[in-house]
Amino acid sequence: MIRLDYSTEPRRDILCIDVKSFFASVESVKRGIHPLKSYIVVMSKPEQEGGLVLAASPRVKEEYGIKTGSRRYEIPKNSNIQIVEPRMSLYLKVNVMINDIFQEFISSEDLHIYSIDESFLDVTSSHALFGTTKEIAVKIQQAIWQRLHLVTAIGIGDNPLLAKLALDNEAKDSPNFMADWHYEDVEKTIWRIHPITEMWGVGNKTANNLVKLGIDSVYRLSQHDVSALKRVQGVIGEQLFYHAHGIDRSILSEKYQTLSKSYGKSQILDRDYIQQAEIEVVIKEMAEQVAARLRSHYVETQVVHLTIGFSKEVSEKGFSHQLKVFPTAASQKIMDTCLYLFRAHYQQEPVRQISISCGKIQAKTDVQLNLFESEEQTIRKEKIDQIIDLVRNKYGYTSLVHASSLTSGATAIKRNGLVGGHKG
């Protein structure tokens, strides 16, 4: 049996905190109902049969099997489930309140916000003021309940991985919504996680790849030859081996800064778009918005990527292509590139999803002159973009729009007031 030596591994006191059924719980509290006793589903586009469940209260999950990702038509017609539309601005506001409570116990450097409803806290330096790790966890849990009436589950561990696994695999279902996993517990905790997809970082695709190696459990993963894993799965295989032994050397206060990133925008359309002109209007709107984001961050792109998803009624999924461009953040250039990619590959299929991303980002310095246009043309286009950005930043996006954005297929004006793609 392979057992690793943990004596040299760093030990931190980490909490992984999750607000149970966050969106649904916030809606329950707003209605004066205990989050664990409500029958509430938060749904995007509830007027449509394909409306998507964003969150379901614990009772709805338990009694009806409705969960995130379920559809409107899966909800029983005569149930006592209350369907509500998402209020993203409200959820963000509550998220800020929760993070403020966290920072009463730790510094901002020791807080890592994993998602809108889940965070990691390093409380190693907080013991002198607030007690043991377990006492701090209880105090935070009570503070959030007393002030916001939200129920939290907390995983405790010697590193972020152990805390996360404790949360997902025990705390969420324990009577006090708390669980404590440490290096010494690996054999009776991590190795017993089943199925293997319940292991953080192992999705269905990775699980299928592991099965081909004869690995169908976390225990077998922990006992496999790490060199063989690395040869087949690369660095991810090596990481999975050490994760199966509970090893994670990341320090929350040591923030990772990416050297490069991409800027993009994705949109699921309200209906199938079958007219090419309508599709192109949306592509132009999205491309212009992505270009404005590039300019707001003083960067330029060298690669433009367009992904088109077809209707579920079509057997083909869609297409995805990219094109290298002269470094730019110009709206017209990015729009033209996206339209070129679209027209080169579009075959009159109904479209339901559009995604645009700009990669190979570099910082903008001076005006870069394109060999295919004059200096006057380049400077003129840049000034036009700057004026448009200035007007929109001051008076709002809808203060200055293209005439095409007033046509029936356009979406930019309607989506302008949305937060995260949903009503604020």
Q: Which of 110, 108, 224 is nearest to 160 (CA)?
A: 110
Structure confidence at residue 409 as a pLDDT band (50, 70, 90): confident
Percent of the chain residues topping a pLDDT of 90: 65
Q: Which residues contact 233 (CB under 8 A, 6 or more apart)?
A: 206, 209, 240
Gap between the Cα atoms of 150 and 43, Å rounded? 20
Task: List, as one string, the DSSP characters of 27-81.
Answer: HHHHTT--TTT--EEEEESTTSTTPEEEEE-HHHHHHH---TT-BGGGS-TTS-P
Radius of gyration of the chain (CA): 25
d(CA 321, CA 346): 11
Mean pLDDT, residues 59-64: 95
Containing H/E element for 157?
A: strand 152-157
Task: Label residue 385 by pLDDT band (50, 70, 90).
Answer: confident
Residue 418 pairs with which residues in a beta bridge? Answer: 423
This prediction has a pTM of 0.69
> Any idea which residue has 């990133």 for tokens?
261
What mean pLDDT is predicted for residues 211-231? 92
More confident residue, 293 or 50: 293
In the numeric block, the tokens 């029983």 are attached to 76
User: And the tokens for 149?
Assistant: 């009436």
CA pseudo-torsion sign 258, 300, 402, 343? negative
Q: What type of residue sits at position 14?
A: I
Distance separating alpha carbons of residues 135 and 32, to the nearest angstrom: 29
| Higher per-residue confidence, 324 vs 250 | 324
Question: What is the per-residue pLDDT for 84?
Answer: 96
Strand, coil or helix: 314: coil
Per mean pLDDT, which of 145-154, 203-212, 259-268, 402-411 is the most reliable? 145-154
- Burial group, residue 358, by CB count within 10 angstroms (0-12, 13-18, 19+): buried
Q: What is the pLDDT of residue 200?
A: 87
Q: Give the residues across from 181 on adjacent strands.
A: 157
Q: In angstroms, what CA-CA distances link 145 with 16, 40, 176, 201, 246?
A: 17, 19, 13, 30, 31
Q: What is the pLDDT of residues 26-56, one digit of tens each?
A: 999 999 999 999 999 999 888 888 889 999 9
Answer positive or negative: Cα dihedral of 271, 274, 280, 281: negative
**Which amino acids are annotated catalytic?**
118
Pair 290, 317: CB distance under 8 Å: no
